[in-house]
Amino acid sequence: MLGAIHDQMKRIIINFLSMAICCSVTAYIAYRMGYQRCGDAAQLLRYSDATITLDALKDLRAGHVEDGIRNVEAICLSHAAMVYGDPRFRERFPGGTNALVGEFRQYLGNYHTNQDDWPVVVRLRRALASWHSSRE
């Protein structure tokens, strides 16, 4: 009888250790895959930023100020729309960026008064409105 209980305990411990090892390996693989995928997305974003910024610099150096500003605006407003439209950002940095909400609103009010403006401007306006109303 004691030997049967001993064997059963061995199987339970072996099964538990096997499951723990399998879960650990799976978690590690999933973490590495997610980290790689996120890193790839960040690199692609940096590449597109560098490309657009280089175009803007070339335009500004050549005296094409309007084209340069439009390129820099594309980056800035796109990033702002992503940041302010992300609820996770709000949770991680509550109140930390409220000053910029006003500055972005003022910039859009001064330079982007056309309601049929770029889709990113419309998205940013919506995000800023929801950001502002959720902070008061």
What percent of the chain has a predicted confidence (pLDDT) above 90?
6
Q: What are phi and psi of 116, to 5 degrees?
A: -90, 30
What is residue 103's predicted lDDT score, i.e. its pLDDT?
86
pTM: 0.61
Q: In terms of Cα–Cα distance, which of 45, 125, 136 is closest to 81? A: 125
For residues 59 and 76, what is the distance between their CA atoms, to the nearest angstrom?
A: 17
Tokens at 11, concatenated: 């199987």
Assign 134 a pLDDT band (cuts: 50, 70, 90).
very low
Reported as a single tens digit per residue, the pLDDT across 9-66 is: 888 888 888 888 888 888 877 777 777 777 777 777 778 888 888 888 899 999 999 9
For residue 128, pLDDT beyond 90? no
What is residue 116's predicted lDDT score, i.e. its pLDDT?
64
